[in-house]
Structure 1
Amino acid sequence: MRIMGLDVGDKTIGVAISDPFGWTAQGIKTIKRTGIKKDINEIINIIDEYKVEKIVVGYPKNMNGTIGPRAQLVTDFCNKLKSRVNIDIELEDERLTTVAAERMLIDADVSRKKRKEVIDTIAATYILQTYLNRINK
């Protein structure tokens, strides 16, 4: 079963896909946000291409565990996506995933410009891999 991971931001959406066995996550792209309809259509195209059966979306809780405005934006996005796809959507705590992705890219000596281009895809991969590790225990 293929699972899609999403890191939803204001300007971009990072996308990752699991292998068919649901063991590993691979980043596949960063969607430049151009409007909710186009964004969701692009996600639907990826769902069809990879035959995705579940979606895991990073849920940006505050460090103290409370829900803030960013989390509400993600919830709103998920509700709009749910109205267009008949796939289970789960939220995965994403605290510090972008920080971890940034640190990994810096350690790999990736330029600042290139980091900006791939950070959301890497964050989506972290989100999905965290989910896969949890369900495969």
Structure 2
Amino acid sequence: MQISALGLDVGRKRIGVAGCDRTGLIAAGLMTIDRQSFQQVQSQLQQLVTERNVQVLVVGLPYTMSGSIGAQARHIQKFAQAMATALQLPLEYVDERLTSFQAEQLLHAQKISPSRNKGLIDRKAASLILQQWLDERRLKATYTQTSPKPDAADSEALDSTTF
């Protein structure tokens, strides 16, 4: 179940970056990248990928409140797909609605001014995105291991049953 992943909170000006411990249990903010060019972002992420033996890129996708994909989400998908290709990593998305708001609330609770710490908000949002992915992955693995597999007799009984 061990995994090394990077979580990204992609914004127009900055990208929050989070990583997880080797056990795949806990996500933590690593850095905030000020976006200047695709190559500059790729270079900084490639360094992390190499240092941390990253196996997957997890990107927050800002669905609209109705659950659809808007213009901002499409821009992020385009960027994320290009970055995953450049880094030669598989890409997974997480619904990131409200993660920036949650990150701001966490800062308020710590008596830190969100307006003066935009980069910290981005890192915290990235860690929330990655933590959500890790938790969902662990839950799926647990469910898969504990769910009973139907045997042949069950399948035959289902096939002969009319509804």
Same fold (TM over 0.5): yes
Q: Which has the higher contact order (CA 8 A, sep 6+)?
A: 1
Higher helix fraction (1 or 2): 2
2:121 to 119, 122, 127: 119
SS in structure 2 opposite 1:23? coil
Larger proportion of strand: 1
Structure 2, unmatched stretches of 5+, are 140-163
Residue 114 of structure 1 and its aligned partner are, at CA, apart by 4.1
Q: Distance in 2 between matches of 1:85 and 1:112?
A: 31
Secondary structure of 2:104's match? helix
Name the amino acid aligned to 2:90.
D
Could you tell me how far apart the structure 1 residues matched to 2:99 and 2:132 are?
10
Q: Which whole-Å deviations, capped at 9, do the CAs of 1:13-53 have from their partners, x for residues lacking one?
A: 00000110111101110001111111111111111111101
Give the secondary structure class of the aligned counterpart of 1:57: strand
Identity %: 35
| In structure 1, distance between residues paired with 2:29 and 2:84 | 22
RMSD between aligned alpha carbons? 1.1
Where does structure 1 lack aligned partners over 5 or more consecutive residues?
none
Give the 3-state SS of the residue equivalent to 1:128 in structure 2.
Answer: helix
> Residues of 2 paired with 1:100 and 1:17: CA distance?
18
Runs of at least 4 residues off by over 3 Å: none
Task: From 128, 133, 136, give the equivalent of 2:135.
Answer: 133
Deviation readout 1:107-131 (Å, 9 max, x if unpaired): 1100245432300000000000011
Larger radius of gyration: 2
TM-score computed with the length of structure 2 as normaliser: 0.81
Question: 2-side partners of 1:56 and 1:117: how far apart?
Answer: 19
Aligned residue number for residue 61 of structure 1: 63
1:23-62 equivalences under 5 Å are 23-62=25-64
Aligned residues: 137
Tell me the secondary structure at the aligned position of residue 55 of structure 2: strand
Q: Secondary structure of 1:41's match?
A: helix
